[in-house]
Each structure stands twice: as C-alpha cells, then as structure tokens.
C-alpha cells in the first residue's frame, strides 16, 4: 500500500489536534479503551462532549494548557492507503517543532479558524511548508459551525490565502470547509454545507498523487561507516555502510568518490539479509568496491554517469532559526550535512523574510528564534551538496552551537 506522510499546522487553537482526533475516530482507527480513556478525561475536565484532541496531546503540559507543544506522530490506515500524521504545534515559540515535523511530509494541512481568518502563524506555516518543498497544501477552514456554515466566509478566506500564496508558488493548494468538532467534511460529507461539492479531507488524502520525495535520478551515497570485520572468515572484507540519498546503485556501476575524485566499480551491495541486486533511497546498505581506496565517514559515492553534486565550502541557504540566542554574522557553529561534520561561520545575512508580505528585509542584522532568512556560510571542509529543491537529503543541513550541543538552525541549500 502507498504511504502518505502529512503534517498539520496553523495558529494556536485552530483545532489541529481535534481534527486529527476526529480523523482517527471517524475512520475507526482507535481502540475502544483509548476512546474510553478520552471520554473519562473529557468528563474530568468538565466538557459536555468527547474532546478528541486528547488523543494526540500526550504531554501533561499539553493537556493542562489545551495546546500542542511537541510533535505528536500518529499512524492509521484505510483500505486505500497508510498514513503517518505529524501533529505540529501552533504556538509561535514552537515553530521549530513544526519545521522538524513537516520536514519529511508529502502534504501539509494548514488549519484556519473561520472566525479569525488567516493569521500570522498560519502564513508562517504555509511559507515554511513551501520552503520545505512539500508538494501538496490543504487549507482546512475549520469551525465553520461557529460562522453558521457561511459560504461567503469560506470564499473570503480562500481568496485571501490565494493572494498571499501567489508569492509562495506552491505546487497545489486545496481548500476544504469543515468542522473538526462536529465531523463535517473530515471523513463524512457535511449536510450543513450543500454549497461545497469538493472532496472530504479523507477522500483527498486517499486520492492525492504521492510522488516519491526521494530523488531517484542522481546517485548519492554518503558514507557513514567503514566496515572491516577483521575476523578469520572475513579478513579481507571492506565495505562502506550508509543510507542511499539518491539514485539507484547496482553491482558493476562505475562510481566516483568525492571529494577525492577517485574512481572504482561496485563489486557488491550487502544488507543484513544478504546481497541485493540494487539499492535506492532510502535503503541502508553496505557497498563493496573493486578497488581499495582511502574512503572515510563523510565521503560520498556518486554514479559516474550521473551529474555530480557541487563540491564547495561556500553555501547560499535559507535558514530557519531555532535558538533563543539570536544569530549574528561572524558567529561560528558546527555544521552537520549528510554524514559529514565540519566547522562553519555565517559570513553574511542577505535578508530576513517578512512573513506577512514575504518581502526581504535587507536591513536585518540578526535572526531571532523562528525567523527565516537567507545567509552565506563558509565551511571548513568541502561539502557535496545539491539544491534542496533537487534533493532534500543532500540539500539540507543543521547548525549546532558547540558550547551547548543544541541544534540552532535548519538550512536548505539554494
């Protein structure tokens, strides 16, 4: 069965956790004891309804505050597809969690409260979704029951979003009016909005085209570990273990080792279950070469007949800043790109993105927590990179504060 990964996003209290709870409940994807526990919790909190948001808000602090803090992952399936849901936080201070949860998604659902319209955090999450290269965007106009199921309200929000999204250039946007609390247009079609003739949310999730998020055209294999068993049975074994980041590799293929440029031929590809005839993203394998070459962690094998990645110590990238300590030009960090680690320095902040207008703020001197900006970075050793729009794995990196070992930013190579 096909697998669809999707993330929910939007401003706080727009109903993301309730939507996921409703989706799980109405698609018969929760156990009776789970539902009974949620019913008891709802009664204890004085609700006169079953608060389905409690299915996903697992942290005690989340339940007490009625908000999502961490990314909650849930799994369910229908006869058509399997799904992995990332329920991401709405509060602005947890935008970094949204970046993490949505980084592997094929589709993003941005919830909008029908009473409030498009808020700053909704814009921020929509922008991040397109920045992360998520191909499908669903704008779920929630709480339609609180605006008397008014078609004009829905169309106004859709029009407002289309005007905002014109500067984002998303691949596809779908608008769905719904009430997650009542279940309208989530799994079952609403009788309260006869003017809407589009799909329900589940119908859309089951039928939207899912293209692979991995690049299968350009062979990329970052080496994570050199395997030398040094046992009597395997005294001459030398293999290079890692996860395929792009393309397809087969025994007999000529490969180039980067950054050295040395060439060899694949002698075999091994897995825990034995030798395989080919390897492709995201398989974890061990590659054996016909020649003994000095290869170590952080090097990359590239198919000789594929275009090579750019080998560079200069990066132009978009950064999503995670840290409470602002980013200043000239600050040094550690950088982690595929399996290679190095030192890095931010040489220039070209601009910070104004989320409301999507215009660059060229006078910005720093990035604060949850800011997004374009930067130039100098790296201590060569990195083998592709544009993020071409390959999510070889086009992404993280910056780390060496004094605290905290991840301070996620970057996407331009």
Domains of the chain as residue ranges with CATH: 2-207 (3.40.50.300), 221-303 (2.40.30.10), 310-413 (2.40.30.10)
- Residue 17 burial by CB count (10 A; 0-12/13-18/19+): exposed, middle or buried? buried
pLDDT for 350 equals: 96
Distance (Å, rounded) from C-alpha 394 to C-alpha 177?
37
**Cα distance between residue 85 and residue 97, in whole Å:** 14
Mean pLDDT of the region 329-358: 93
Token reading at 156: 């106004």
- pLDDT on residue 67: 37
At how many degrees (to 10) do helices 151-165 and 120-131 cross? 50
pLDDT at 63: 37
Non-local (6+) Cβ contacts of 209 within 8 A are none
Q: In what order do the strands lie in the sheet with 72-77?
A: 72-77, 81-87, 2-10, 107-113, 136-142, 172-177
- pLDDT 10s digits, 385-396: 999 989 989 999
Q: Which pLDDT score, from 0 to 100, does residue 69 have? A: 39
Structure tokens at 378: 């100098």
Q: Which residue, among 398, 299, 392, 389, has the nearest Cα to 339 in the 3D structure?
A: 299
The yes-or-no verdict on residue 68 having pLDDT over 50 is no
pLDDT in tens, 159-205: 999 988 887 877 889 999 999 989 999 999 999 999 999 999 999 99
- For residue 232, the model assigns a pLDDT of 60
pLDDT of 64 over the 50 cut: no
Which value, to the nearest 10 degrees, does the dihedral of the CA atoms of residues 16, 17, 23, 29 take? 160
Give which of 149, 150, 156, 147 is closest to 175, Cα–Cα: 156
Which pLDDT value is given to residue 41?
Answer: 73
Taking residues 8-26, report their average pLDDT.
81
| pLDDT value, residue 309 | 95
Q: Read off the pTM.
A: 0.84
Of all residues in the chain, what percent carry a pLDDT higher than 90?
60
């Amino acid at each position: 069965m096909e697998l669809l990964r999707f993330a929910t996003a939007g401003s706080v209290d727009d109903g993301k956790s309730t939507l996921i709870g409703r989706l799980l409940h109405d698609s018969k994807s929760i156990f009776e004891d789970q539902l009974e526990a949620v019913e008891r919790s709802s009664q204890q909190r004085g609700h006169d309804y079953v608060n389905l948001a409690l299915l996903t808000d697992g942290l005690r602090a989340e339940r007490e505050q009625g908000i999502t803090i961490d990314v909650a992952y849930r799994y369910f399936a229908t006869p058509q597809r399997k799904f992995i849901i990332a329920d991401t936080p709405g509060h602005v201070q947890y935008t970094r969690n949204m970046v993490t949860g949505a980084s592997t998604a094929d589709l993003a659902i941005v919830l909008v409260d029908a009473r409030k319209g498009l808020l700053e955090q909704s814009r921020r999450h929509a922008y991040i979704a397109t920045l992360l290269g998520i191909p499908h965007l669903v704008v779920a106009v929630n709480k339609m029951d609180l605006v008397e199921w008014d078609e004009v309200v829905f169309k106004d929000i859709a029009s407002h979003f289309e005007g905002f999204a014109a500067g984002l250039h998303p691949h596809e946007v779908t608008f769905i009016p719904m009430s997650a609390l009542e279940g309208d247009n989530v799994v079952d079609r609403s009788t309260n909005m006869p003017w809407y003739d589009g799909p329900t949310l589940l119908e859309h999730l089951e039928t939207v085209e899912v293209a692979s998020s991995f690049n299968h055209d350009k062979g990329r294999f970052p080496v994570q570990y050199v395997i030398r068993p040094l046992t009597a049975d395997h005294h001459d074994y030398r293999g290079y273990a890692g996860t395929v980041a792009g393309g397809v590799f087969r025994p007999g293929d000529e490969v180039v080792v980067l950054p050295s440029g040395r060439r060899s031929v694949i002698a075999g590809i091994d897995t825990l279950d034995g030798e395989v005839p080919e390897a492709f993203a995201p398989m974890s394998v061990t590659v054996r070469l016909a020649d003994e070459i000095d290869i170590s962690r952080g090097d990359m094998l590239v198919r000789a007949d594929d275009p090579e990645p750019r080998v560079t110590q200069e990066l132009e990238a978009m950064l999503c800043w995670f840290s409470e300590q602002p980013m200043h030009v000239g600050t040094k960090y550690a950088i982690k790109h595929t399996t290679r680690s190095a030192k890095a320095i931010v040489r220039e902040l070209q601009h910070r993105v104004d989320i409301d207008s999507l215009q660059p703020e060229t006078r910005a001197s720093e990035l604060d927590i949850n800011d997004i900006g374009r930067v130039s970075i100098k790296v201590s050793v060569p990195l083998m990179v592709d544009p993020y729009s071409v390959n999510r794995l070889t086009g992404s990196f993280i910056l780390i504060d060496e004094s605290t070992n905290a991840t301070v930013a996620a970057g996407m190579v331009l």
